Amino acid sequence: MISATFTVPKAEVYNEVAKTTSYTGIKMSGEDYARIFTTDEDRMMLERFFNEAANGLTDVLKPFLVSVSDTSPLHCVDLTRNYVVSLELSSSYDENLNGSVESSMFSYFTNFIVGNWYKFANKEEAETYMATAASMVMDIKSKIYFRKKPVRLVPAE
Amino acid sequence: MARKNLSVTLKISELLYEIRNKTWLTGQSRQNGQNFEEVANMQNNEDEEHANQVLRSIGNAFATLKVRLSEYIISSQTTANDIQISDSSDLTVTLVLPSNYNQATADAVATGCHQYIVNTAIAEWFTITNKTDAADYLTLAGANITQVREAISKRVRPTRVTPTP
């Protein structure tokens, strides 16, 4: 078996969410920008979405799960509580995919949070982000379930 | 009349590789862009639960092979057990054949035994992980045992020794 640990840094996810919502808002009028752009005051809501994203991903990864960071709800935002998951993957898993898996996890969190935020703030684009989040889950699955081809060891005569 | 012994050795690494390669190729060819988990499940690999299942299947198939060839096997074995075979010990069987057995078929016997075990083990593996293909491998295994028995049945024609007048 191959052990692998993946980390999704919460602060970076929130920064990415802020960037994405800011870009979307800039393309619109002043009022829309204020509504769409996520600010530090919105973080309690984002925190709930982060935890939901974490729970959804943990469910996908549970056949391989060794440990996962705590995602129990808090009454405050704790930016140090990253999503950290340790997995025991198949011996035929390709470790060269580790970076790509982690990157897909990051994108999943970002899209999931933006999609849920847009259900309140920018309904027209919400489905697009939710669909992208779902496709990121498929992307993660395609990598962790990928199996390297077997290698033949030529036996001694 | 002198008999001919044919010792057949089946390398466990070769059996395991062919099972893993065939199931890996089957998985690759069944991919549809959505079924990652199903594909991974049908691809036998070195993971403990995979290895245990396939070693058990190889052991079962080898035991059945010996039953099918029992008329050619002489054994003084007095004990038996159900311990799973190891992935480091090869399988050997010695066939005691008539003196006119045609040794030209020796390789066919070995490859037939190999294929029988591989196809039987894959049939068992696919019964768990890919039911639609399981029956095909069982059919192939049946053909393999027929091939082995045919190869064993080949005889050299008698040679006339001219008597001295």
**Lookup result for tokens 């005569």:** A157
Structure tokens given for A92: 């035929």
pLDDT of residue A143: 97
B41: nearest CA partner in chain A: A145
A142: nearest CA partner in chain B: B36
Instruction: Express each pLDDT in A77-126 by its tens digit.
Output: 888 899 999 999 999 999 999 999 999 999 999 999 999 999 988 888 89
B20 touches chain A (CB under 8 A): yes
- Partner-chain contact A1 B47, CB within 8 Å: yes
B37 touches chain A (CB under 8 A): yes
Alpha-carbon distance B125 to nearest alpha carbon in chain A (angstroms): 16
Pick among B9, B15, B16, B17 to test the A interface (most A CBs inside 10 A): B17
Pick among B9, B10, B16, B20 to test the A interface (most A CBs inside 10 A): B20
DSSP designation for A88: E
User: What's the farthest any 2 CA atoms get from each other in chain B?
Assistant: 83
Instruction: Express each pLDDT in B61-114 by its tens digit.
Output: 999 999 999 999 998 889 999 999 999 999 999 999 999 999 999 999 999 999
- Partner-chain contact B47 A142, CB within 8 Å: no
Alpha helices, DSSP H, located in A5-122: 10-26, 30-36, 43-61, 98-121
Cα separation, B65 vs B55, whole angstroms:
15
**Lookup result for tokens 């079924």:** B35
A90: nearest CA partner in chain B: B47
Instruction: Express each pLDDT in B1-34 by its tens digit.
Output: 689 999 999 999 999 999 999 999 999 999 999 9
Angle at B17 between CA B11 and CA B21, to 5 degrees: 155
What three-state secondary structure class fits B32? coil
- Partner-chain contact B24 A149, CB within 8 Å: yes
Q: What is the mean pLDDT of residues A1-19?
A: 95
- How many CB pairs below 8 Å do chains A and B form together? 46
B22: nearest CA partner in chain A: A150
Which one, of A136, A104, A101, A133, lies nearest residue A116 by Cα? A133
pLDDT of residue A96: 97
B20, B103, B112, B117, B123 from B126: Cα distances, Å? 12, 35, 21, 14, 5
Q: What is the pTM of this model?
A: 0.89
Which one, of A94, A74, A149, lies nearest residue B27 by Cα? A149
Instruction: Express each pLDDT in A24-64 by its tens digit.
Output: 877 776 677 667 777 777 778 889 999 999 999 999 999 99
> Which residues on adjacent β-strands are paired with residue B5?
B96
What three-state secondary structure class fits B8? strand
Listed in sequence order, the residues at least 6 apart from A121 whose beta carbon sits closer than 8 Å to its beta carbon are A21, A35, A36
Cα separation, B18 vs B46, whole angstroms:
13
Select the residue of A1, A145, A149 nearest B37 (Cβ to Cβ).
A145
- Partner-chain contact A150 B20, CB within 8 Å: yes
B49 touches chain A (CB under 8 A): no
- Report whether pLDDT(A14) > 80: yes
Query: Given its phi and psi angles, is residue B33 left (phi above 0), alpha (psi -120 to 50 degrees) or beta?
Result: left
pLDDT of residue B55: 97
Tell me which chain B residues have a C-beta less than 8 angstroms from the C-beta of A138. 34, 36
- Partner-chain contact A145 B21, CB within 8 Å: no
DSSP codes, B86-131:
PTTS-EEEEEEE-TTB-GGGHHHHHHHHHHHHHHHHHHHHHHHH-H
Listed in sequence order, the residues at least 6 apart from A77 whose beta carbon sits closer than 8 Å to its beta carbon are A43, A44, A46, A47
Which one, of B6, B4, B8, lies nearest residue B91 by Cα? B8
Select the residue of B11, B14, B36 nearest A145 (Cβ to Cβ).
B36
